[in-house]
Amino acid sequence: MAERIYLLDTTLRDGEQSPGVSLNSHEKLEIALQLARMGVDVIEAGFPVISRGDFEGVRMIAEKVKGPVIAGLARATKGDIDAAWRAIKVAENPRIHTFLATSDIHLKYKLQKSREQVLQQAEEAVRYAKQYVSDVEFSAEDASRSDFDYLCQVVERVIDAGATVVNLPDTVGYAVPEEFGDFIRRIMERVPNMHRAILSVHCHNDLGLAVANSLAAVKNGAKQVEGTINGIGERAGNASLEEFIMTLYTRRSIYQKELNIDYREIYRTSRMVSSITGMAIQPNKAVVGKNAFAHESGIHQDGVLKERTTYEIMSPELIGLPKSNLVLGKHSGRHAFNEKLKELGFSLNEEELNRAFQRFKDLADKKKEVTDHDIEALVKDEIWVIPERFKLQYLHFTGGSTVVPTATVGLVGAKGLVEEAACGDGPVEAACNAIDRITGLPGSLVEYKLNAVTGGKDAQGEVVVKVAVGNLKVLGRGLSTDVIEASVKAYINAINKAAYEISKPDQVGGVVDLNGNDDNRKNLG
Ligand code: KIV
Ligand code: ZN
């Protein structure tokens, strides 16, 4: 029988470290539920000590997601490990994942510690985590650039201390496949107690080789592979799980490995991650890109019509690619809408469903065809269950090349309807200035992205903004067939999130400075 390979999905941890991505706990939960449906073995749900948001997200996933192991990341310190344990302890199958760098370059410049000190710290961290839980993963950060003999020593010691999984990351994406495969084979041969733990790899994509390196590692004895959906992650990202999965499947005669994956969930998972994170998938992306199964040239079209395998090595049905993206219209009922949501992988409660259905009806009145993409964009708003401290009642604006842009905004808050008017460089800035006057929480726009959800003149505009309120940075999203209204909604959404974050009590236990410094992502791989 083919040997089993375990998949650790770190979309919610390393993936969430992608520049510009920041998810709230409800969004993380939605993705985690879908990852569980797809059948990943381990969900790395976050880095609990790093921020209150991460802690809450991990705790919520640990409580609600059944099936996969739920891992929380921790540096090799007691404080980090305590926080990780507090967040994951309610999980059916909890895992603490602790890490420490082992390369000389990290030891010298980042940690300023000797090899002996790091060896001891790694061992102590694993022993400490082991007091809480039997499943402990240790990662030797920057393993691929570490001194080989020293790395072997670290691996042996952490296994003796009780590590059940030892992960060897190519943290900076420096390795190439032949070299990385050879590295894994030598580790397997050299470390005497390696058979007592699972050897894992975690490859970054700086040279575009993350999936190739992961495959080479599997060929040489690695049993767990870590990656993210759509390959999102730090810098150039992580190994794309869907590419790894489909290579193992499509070339199974070479690899002869088994996965516990429901392949039909791959496309849905990819779409959901893209729509919730706001990270678009490049059209030519392998496996899940819009063009991955599109045949443009006449010769190819002719070939595929005669026999699909002439130009297709995978079947689009296998990964769950819907045959047609055209869906509902204004005559569609609640039942059909709900079925569509299920098909797209969303599970809304009754209240969310009612709200989403109402918004779908409003949209269907304005737009002839409501596509899957429209519905995803719309539902995404419903799972952002941040209390709406300020709600848009109305928006008026004037603009043009010869007048000073002005906007009047009415927001409903605790004091009822409050109205303000302001000017700005454009109608969006004018409206944001008016909103700042009402909320008393002045924000500055750090990033602004506008996407057309679908094609056509009646397309919905989706605006994603990053807003700084003091030291706090929050993402906001707004959707409308009018782009100014979408921008204003996105800004209000961000301000509501900031108001919510500022008012929440600290649940981490004082480990992180949350008063405005909620982004503690230093020293991460
Ligand atoms: O890339 C890396 O080294 C990491 C570790 C924390 C596992 O993400
Ligand atoms: Zn990483």
The tens digit of pLDDT for each residue in 333-345 reads: 888 888 888 877 7
Nearest C-alpha neighbor of 462 from the set 276, 291, 288: 276
Confidence of residue 209 (pLDDT cuts 50, 70, 90): very high
Collapsed DSSP state (helix, strand, coil) of residue 264: helix
Entry pTM: 0.80
* pLDDT score of 328: 79
Helix (H) or strand (E) holding 135: none
- The Cα 289–Cα 270 span in angstroms is 9
- The Cα 525–Cα 522 span in angstroms is 9
**Could you give the percent of the chain with pLDDT greater than 70?**
93
Nearest C-alpha neighbor of 443 from the set 466, 411, 423, 417: 466
Spacing, Cα 9 to ligand 2 middle (Å): 11
Query: Which letter, b or e, does each residue of 74-105 get, where b requires 16 or more Cβ atoms within 10 Å of its Cβ?
Result: bbbbeebbbbbbbbbbebebbbbbbbbbbbee
Spacing, Cα 234 to ligand 2 middle (Å): 7
Confidence of residue 323 (pLDDT cuts 50, 70, 90): low
Write the pLDDT tens digit of every residue in 298-320: 787 778 788 888 888 999 999 99
Confidence of residue 508 (pLDDT cuts 50, 70, 90): very low
| Closest ligand 1 atom, residue 14 Cα | 8
| Beta-sheet strand order (sheet of 416-423) | 391-398, 406-413, 416-423
**Could you give the percent of the chain with pLDDT greater than 90?**
63
Q: Whose CA is nearest to atom 7 of ligand 1?
A: 139
Of 16, 105, 138, 204, best ligand 1 pocket probe by most atoms within 8 Å of the beta carbon: 204
* pLDDT score of 504: 67
| Closest ligand 1 atom, residue 97 Cα | 7
Of 11, 14, 235, best ligand 1 pocket probe by most atoms within 8 Å of the beta carbon: 14
Q: Whose CA is nearest to atom 4 of ligand 1?
A: 525
Confidence of residue 123 (pLDDT cuts 50, 70, 90): very high
Name the CA dihedral angle for 121, 124, 129, 130, rounded to a multiple of 10 degrees: 150
Pocket of ligand 1 from Cβ distances under 6 Å: 14, 99, 139, 141, 167, 169, 171, 202, 204, 525
| Closest ligand 1 atom, residue 226 Cα | 7
Confidence of residue 346 (pLDDT cuts 50, 70, 90): confident
* pLDDT score of 366: 81
Q: Whose CA is nearest to atom 5 of ligand 1?
A: 525
| Closest ligand 1 atom, residue 171 Cα | 1
Q: Whose CA is nearest to atom 2 of ligand 1?
A: 525
| Closest ligand 1 atom, residue 141 Cα | 3
C-alpha distances in Å from residue 65, one per residue of 93, 167, 319, 362 = 10, 24, 23, 33
* pLDDT score of 380: 72
Q: Which ligand is nearest to the CA of 141?
A: 1
Alpha helices in 133-175 (DSSP H): 148-160
- Weakest-pLDDT range from 9-18, 145-154, 290-299, 433-442: 290-299
pLDDT at 419 over 90: yes
Nearest C-alpha neighbor of 76 from the set 23, 13, 123: 123
Spacing, Cα 101 to ligand 1 middle (Å): 9
Supply 395's token pair: 């928006």
Spacing, Cα 119 to ligand 2 middle (Å): 21
pLDDT at 525 over 80: no
Q: Residue 220 CB: number of other CB atoms within 10 A?
A: 19
Q: Whose CA is nearest to atom 6 of ligand 1?
A: 525
Q: Which ligand is nearest to the CA of 99?
A: 1
Helix (H) or strand (E) holding 146: none
Q: Which ligand is nearest to the CA of 50?
A: 1
* pLDDT score of 453: 74
- Weakest-pLDDT range from 142-146, 226-230, 451-455: 451-455
| Closest ligand 1 atom, residue 13 Cα | 8
The DSSP-derived string for 200-213 is: EEEEB-TTS-HHHH
| Closest ligand 1 atom, residue 204 Cα | 1
- The Cα 76–Cα 430 span in angstroms is 48
Residue predicted with more confidence, 353 or 91: 91
Q: Which ligand is nearest to the CA of 103?
A: 1
Spacing, Cα 524 to ligand 1 middle (Å): 7
Of 171, 224, 232, best ligand 1 pocket probe by most atoms within 8 Å of the beta carbon: 171
* pLDDT score of 293: 86
- Weakest-pLDDT range from 176-190, 354-368, 380-394, 428-442: 380-394
Write the pLDDT tens digit of every residue in 59-112: 999 999 999 999 999 999 999 999 999 999 999 999 999 999 999 999 999 999
| Closest ligand 1 atom, residue 172 Cα | 1
